[in-house]
A and B are shown apart, each in its own frame.
Chain A
């Protein structure tokens, strides 16, 4: 009888080991690395290699079609989660490369002027024409675009033709950003606070209309010259501004430099 009991126990134990063994071997049992961020959100639909196009051809291309362009990095937002958003410009036009797949090592190589070939899809989000789900490779050569002076044309209907370009606007006056007379706001409605690297929003007048400009914190965050300058603005200040002609349901430049006169 004891033999039978011992045999039953042995079988039961083997079954227990078998259960553990299977668990260890099953893919689902692999332990996720502790304190690890979720996987990156690199594009799951990849752009096919396409012939590179001119800016004119790019503008003519339909949204959602694959595009290939060669352009030059002018600035980029902070690298995060294996993605980078780049303001790029060639001699014939400018591009906004949204959340381009990019390792941290590659990001370090994307300095101002770097020549890149980009494969992605043309997209439009809230009026901003951009390239998304893109990959890139670095080419030889550099080019730093001069700022396009758009002083006096902020209300022009054809301003959108210069979308994403490096721009300069002179002789603007800072006007109140809210009903309380603030010269700028942390976040669009003042819901942010100093120290949290919020975007800054301020309003300017060119004498014909009032416009909202933004210090995009992922482009020029707390501690940069432009961030410090804007947080020191006063209503009535006369300023010159440089930045990129970003679009969000209308013109909303991402500012990189403000000079108080």
Chain B
């Protein structure tokens, strides 16, 4: 009887051990997708592709050419493209369409967003099976085009959630600090090899000195915002990372609000108060101020490089507002210049589940086609992007393109090529943040803290410790940070909780006792167990 009780207890233990992991691990029921044996070319497929461009007609042209080339290779597949210029719009439209089962087949997106898509049943296609398939995988035998070869492992790893590949990287970029070298030197500073936050704040404060007529000494204009940051989400995330401070953990634990965060916000508040710092959301595009000689340090994506500089091929201000100066492209400022860290970002491509496996295969064939050299290099050349495949990165065509920076102010616009080179030179210094259901909201919240702190200063509201606490409380409520699920078993779990240690210790002790009892019984009275029945 006692043994029966013990067995029951053990069985219960096993059951309790299962609880949580399978039920809450988003996408765990979709670990693999059975790749069809063949592709039926007699059946017509129309697939929808939701694409994102940077409001750049050359990027649209690359997509259109890719679709034409692909449809020639696969006449039974028609690709209908819908163009977006905003990731958030894609995200919201996908969410809406998941509910109505009308998702696109192929979609440009961020892994953060996919984590939310995965909370739906059978939404996103897991790609590991496709990637490894000898017929249709990367360089597979039944492809009608030369496969893309190896995807840069670092970039591919950024597309995995809980060990499952849920997207293909499409392009990669990072952020750059575009510097007006003339103004920095005019202020009496020498640019260091690696920018530091201290340096940027120091120069920016110095730049606030004015002439008697109210103009700024450094530019002679009435407008100057020395330091403007485009994406404050990235600003906060990168600052925290550089400080080795908390942001989030792979299991969904939110660590955004900590002492380092408060220190960062206090610093931001100080420089907003002096007028030395502002943001895109508050003041406008960094490049517009920068090009007009009204900004010294503009931090924006490397994928925005064609808008930056006195001779930028894309302009959003009138030509008579342009100021002539030398632009430098630097990595974002660092707290520890010996160990630079910067974010890896850029579009990825995911596939959505459909009833017909042949339709999913058609989607995969197109998604993979987007990684072929012509598409990769063609798109990377439109902005400060880097191709995601090793073949494209190492190709003669791409290397030649990189080597020709400055030959013209269009295709070979030097600022753009320097921005791409920046990422290539610092790939090992890039990082991504953990992806989980809610990580997209957390990212927005990180930026909102900076935006609201800046607004509070400008509006003469409280930014003392209590004021910052209140800003966090409201931000946390706005983005429902308290509602983000913690997923046991996801990624690195960190130290075991006390209950788990007690459980494992108890189990170990129980097994030792069982083993001890068995040996003792065996030694004392062989066969007793059999007789006890």
Interface residues of A (CB under 8 A from B): 1-6, 8-13, 15-20, 22-23, 26-32, 34-42, 44-45, 63-66, 81, 121, 123, 125-126, 133, 187-193, 195-196, 198, 249-250
Contact A249 B318 (CB under 8 A): yes
Q: Which 8 A-B residue pairings sit nearest by Cβ, starting from the closest?
A: A12-B506, A19-B499, A34-B119, A191-B57, A16-B16, A44-B474, A64-B458, A126-B284
Chain A's closest residue to B462 (CB) is A45
Q: Return chain B residues, CB-CB under 8 Å to A65.
A: 459
Residue among A10, A19, A40, A126 facing the most chain B CB atoms (10 A cut-off): A19
A75 → chain B closest CB, angstroms: 21
When the two chains form their complex, are residues B288 and A20 in contact, meaning their CB atoms are under 8 A apart? no
> What residues on A are CB-neighbors of B437 within 8 Å?
32
User: Most chain-B CB neighbours within 10 Å: which of A34, A38, A250?
Assistant: A38
In the complex, what residues of B have CB within 8 A of residue A26's CB? 486
- B264 at interface, CB cutoff 8 A: no
Known pairs A36-B95, A126-B285; A195 contacts B478 (CB<8 A):
no
Given A15-B503, A15-B506, A126-B288, A31 and B485 contact (CB-CB distance below 8 Å): yes
Judge whether B60 and A8 touch: CB under 8 Å. Answer: no
Instruction: Note all chain A residues with C-beta closer than 8 A to B12.
Output: 13
Beyond A15-B499, A30-B482, A191-B60, 9 additional contacts (C-beta under 8 Å) are A2-B517, A11-B502, A30-B485, A31-B485, A32-B484, A34-B120, A44-B471, A123-B282, A191-B85
* Bound form: Cα–Cα A126–B285 in Å: 8
Q: Are A6 and B5 in contact (CB under 8 A)?
A: yes
State whether the Cβ of B456 lies closer than 8 Å to any Cβ in chain A: yes
Contacts A/B (CB < 8 Å), 20 sampled: A6-B5, A6-B9, A9-B6, A9-B9, A9-B510, A12-B502, A15-B500, A15-B506, A18-B499, A28-B484, A29-B485, A32-B480, A35-B120, A44-B475, A66-B459, A126-B285, A133-B455, A189-B56, A190-B60, A191-B55
B16 to A13, Cβ gap below 8 A? yes
B398–chain A nearest beta-carbon distance, Å: 23
Name A40's closest neighbour in chain B (CB-CB).
Answer: B478
In the complex, are the beta carbons of B486 and A35 less than 8 A apart?
A: no
Q: Is B357 an interface residue (CB 8 A)?
A: no
- In Å, the complex CA distance between A188 and B486 comes to 43
Q: With both chains docked as a complex, state the minimum distance between the C-beta of B399 and any C-beta of chain A, in angstroms.
A: 28
CA distance A88 to B321 in the complex (A): 30
Interface digits, B444-464 against A, CB 8 Å rule (1 contact, 0 not)? 100010001001101111000
Q: Judge whether B59 is part of the interface by a CB distance below 8 angstroms.
A: yes
Q: Verify if B323 is at the interface (C-beta below 8 Å from A).
A: no
Q: How far is the CB of B273 from chain A (nearest CB, A)?
A: 12
Main secondary structure of the interface of A (DSSP, over half): loop
Tell me the B residues contacting A by CB distance below 8 Å. 2-3, 5-6, 9-10, 12-13, 16-17, 19-20, 24, 53, 55-57, 59-60, 81-85, 91-92, 95, 98-99, 116-117, 119-120, 252-254, 282-285, 288, 314, 316-318, 321, 437-438, 440-441, 444, 448, 452, 455-456, 458-461, 471, 474-475, 477-480, 482-486, 488, 497, 499-500, 502-503, 506-507, 509-510, 513-514, 516-517, 520
B82 touches A250 (CB 8 A): no
Q: A5-B513, A8-B509, A28-B486 are in contact. Are A188 and B55 (CB under 8 A)?
A: yes
- The winner among A15, A23, A81 for most chain B CB atoms within 10 A is A15
Task: Write out the residue numbers on chain B whose beta carbons fall within 8 Å of the beta carbon of A250.
Answer: 318
Task: Tell me how many residue pairs across A and B have CB atoms closer than 8 Å.
Answer: 186
Instruction: Collect the chain B residues with CB atoms within 8 Å of residue A66's CB.
Output: 459
The answer to whether B506 and A35 have CB atoms under 8 Å apart is no
A169 to B212, CA, bound (A): 42
The reply to whether B479 and A196 contact each other, CB–CB distance below 8 Å, is no
CB distance from A176 to the nearest CB of B (A): 16
Say whether, besides A22-B499, A187-B55, A250-B318, A6 and B83 are in contact (CB < 8 Å).
no
Asked if B471 and A32 make an inter-chain contact with CB atoms under 8 angstroms apart, the answer reads: no
Which of B83, B98, B482 has a CB less than 8 Å from the CB of A192?
B83
Closest to B316 in A: A249
Q: Is the CB of A189 within 8 A of B478?
A: no
